Amino acid sequence: MIELTRVSKRFGDETAVNDISLRVPKGEFCALVGTSGCGKSTTLRMINRLIEHSEGDITLDGQSIGAYDPVRLRRRIGYVIQHTGLFPHWNVVRNIGLVPRLLKWSTADVQARVEELMDLLGLPVVEFSHKYPHQLSGGQAQRVGVARALAADPDILLMDEPFGALDPITREKLQEELAKLQARLHKTVVFVTHDMDEALKLADHLVVMREGRIIQQGSPLALLQHPSDPFVESMLGGLERGLKQAALTRVKDHMTSMGPTLPAQSRIPVNFSLRQALSMMLRDHTDRLTVVDQHDVPIGDLSLRRVIKEAQLDKGSIRE
Ligand SMILES: Nc1ncnc2c1ncn2[C@@H]1O[C@H](COP(=O)(O)OP(=O)(O)OP(=O)(O)O)[C@@H](O)[C@H]1O
Ligand SMILES: [Mg+2]
């Protein structure tokens, strides 16, 4: 649905984005990662025409973005940035309802939509409706920013380091919420981040950029297994690469049936990752775990041997 073909952007003599081609099918979550200044934000801003590209083609649903009216285009595309861009003198309700009001929805419809979104993003209406941005924590403001981007139900969401300014715990919570939201809403998302773990966790398609170019793109697992060069490998965490791959693989896909002897108390829920399993094995000095279902009932075994052996086979990604 979003397609960039040989797109470049020059600012004066400087080439910020250099001949990139990228396809983001409908409903896919695409993450752009790369060092500072490599052209990630410029790429996003070309998609909603905040910046006009210098060369190449950008199409939405097969139609050149040049053919869309820029204002209408931006209303179709939700845009979230790091410092939320909330209007400081507007309360939460007014901020979230911005685009529906611009689209001239009825007051009742705007109100209903705002309340629906506040509910979806865990912002209790009674508590937050009348707060102003300066009365919100970073994580709360970020939720309001996401709610605002979703308000007119855009099919496309562009997110530029939306969780960049948050502490790791709040960040992880919002990542989980975003993943849940995406599983329900199936937006077409282009997400920029510095944080490779965040990208690996959320993305269906991972794009590694450097100095305006795309160096490699593909599924997170494909990149982890076959980084095309040392730069991509170092972006993917160098020696940590094996653990990052284990983080994308589920216990469920590697457990064996229950052995005759039940191993000790070390129990791991079936939906956990192999990375968590390895961590538990290290912590408990064991090479075997009992896999349990959501009711804590033992349903299988997981051995270190199996984890190591199976990790070589290309199967079972969490994102599949
Ligand atoms: N409006 C502009 N005028 C001139 N140069 C610009 C402009 N916007 C971006 N650039 C340059 O284009 C290059 C890419 O910038 P961009 O903001 O896309 O990088 P980025 O990958 O988002 O970086 P970061 O991770 O630091 O946010 C940089 O060298 C930047 O200085
Ligand atoms: Mg940027």
Domain range list for the chain: 2-239, 249-319
Ligand 1 atom 6: residue of nearest CA: 11
Q: Distance between CA atoms of 300 and 52, rounded to whole angstroms?
A: 56
Measured in Å, residue 153 CA sits from the centre of ligand 2 at 25
Q: Count CA within 13 A, CB hemisphere, residue 239.
A: 0
Give the DSSP H or E segment for 261: none
pLDDT at 317 over 80: no
Q: Count CA within 13 A, CB hemisphere, residue 254.
A: 33
Average pLDDT rounded to a whole number, residues 66-89: 85
For residue 213, count other CB atoms closer than 10 A to its CB: 16
Measured in Å, residue 310 CA sits from the centre of ligand 2 at 38
Ligand 1 atom 18: residue of nearest CA: 39
Contact between residue 188 and residue 285 where contact means Cβ atoms under 8 Å apart: no
Measured in Å, residue 315 CA sits from the centre of ligand 2 at 34
Instruction: Give residue-wise pLDDT tens across range 35-48.
Output: 999 999 999 999 99
Ligand 1 atom 3: residue of nearest CA: 11
Confidence of residue 85 (pLDDT cuts 50, 70, 90): confident
pLDDT at 316 over 60: no
Residue 245 in contact with ligand 1 by CB distance below 6 A: no
Residue ranges in the chain assigned as alpha helix (H): 40-47, 70-76, 92-96, 98-102, 107-120, 125-128, 138-150, 168-185, 196-202, 220-225, 230-235, 241-247, 274-284, 304-310
Question: Helix axis angle, 138-150 relative to 107-120, nearest 10°?
Answer: 130
Minimum-distance ligand 1 atom for the alpha carbon of 161: 27
pLDDT at 263 over 70: no
Q: Distance between CA atoms of 139 and 128, rounded to whole angstroms?
A: 13
Ligand nearest to the CA of 34: 1
Average pLDDT rounded to a whole number, residues 290-302: 91
Residue 117 in contact with ligand 1 by CB distance below 6 A: no
Measured in Å, residue 213 CA sits from the centre of ligand 1 at 13
Residue 205: name the closest of 213, 214, 301 by CA.
Answer: 214
What was the pLDDT predicted at 159?
A: 92
Measured in Å, residue 283 CA sits from the centre of ligand 1 at 44
Q: Distance between CA atoms of 199 and 213, rounded to whole angstroms?
A: 18
Confidence of residue 260 (pLDDT cuts 50, 70, 90): low
The conformational region for residue 61 under phi > 0 = left, psi -120 to 50 = alpha, else beta, is left
List strands edge to edge, sheet with 55-60: 14-24, 2-11, 55-60, 63-64
Average pLDDT rounded to a whole number, residues 86-100: 92
Q: Distance between CA atoms of 49 and 203, rounded to whole angstroms?
A: 23
pLDDT at 113 over 80: yes
Radius of gyration, CA atoms only, the chain = 22
Contact between residue 145 and residue 178 where contact means Cβ atoms under 8 Å apart: no
Q: Distance between CA atoms of 184 and 150, rounded to whole angstroms?
A: 13
- Write down the residue that tokens 């707060």 correspond to: 131
Residue 13 in contact with ligand 1 by CB distance below 6 A: no
pLDDT at 209 over 60: yes
CATH topology of domain 2-239: Rossmann fold (3.40.50)
- For domain 249-319, the CATH class is alpha beta
Per-residue DSSP letter, 169: H
Mean pLDDT of the chain: 89
Measured in Å, residue 14 CA sits from the centre of ligand 1 at 10
- The two structure tokens encoding residue 181: 């939201």
Ligand 1 atom 22: residue of nearest CA: 41
- Environment of ion ligand 2 (residues, CB < 5 A): 41
Instruction: Give residue-wise pLDDT tens across range 125-157.
Output: 999 999 999 998 888 888 898 888 888 888 899
